[in-house]
Structure 1
Amino acid sequence: MNTKENKQSSEEISRKDAIKKMGKYAVLTAVGTFILLSPQKAQATSAPPPPGW
């Protein structure tokens, strides 16, 4: 198969669009990591354990 045929058949995006997409993923990853790695806030918002634990 010719490489030109592969490029034409696949969806192409510009470098600017690719950077925007990666920026969105980076923000989501940072927010998720911040939430998971902040145990004091997570502990403060969690429900108390049931009696007998």
Structure 2
Amino acid sequence: MKKENNTDKITRKEAISKMGKYAALTAVGTFAILNPLQATQTSVPPDAGGGPFD
């Protein structure tokens, strides 16, 4: 039998920590790309010059 080399394995705690860092980085990147304040400002159509009864 061949003995396994444990140098490339990480613990569950380390894996969860790394996943948390990637999740935080992804969230920051998403908010930077899809800025909610800028998105709401650009989604409102400009005033077209009044209503039909003005």
Q: TM-score, normalised by structure 2?
A: 0.55
Moved over 6 A (4+): none
Match of 1:33 in 2: 30
Query: Which structure 1 segments of 5+ residues have no match?
Result: 42-53
Higher helix share: 1
| 1:12 match | 9
TM-score using structure 1 length: 0.56
Larger radius of gyration: 2
What is the percentage of aligned positions where both structures have the same residue?
A: 57
Structure 1 vs Structure 2 CA RMSD: 2.8
| Larger RCO (CA under 8 A, 6+ residues apart) | 1
Structure 2 regions of 5+ residues with no counterpart?
Answer: 40-54
The separation in 1 between residues aligned to 2:13 and 2:6, in whole angstroms, is 21
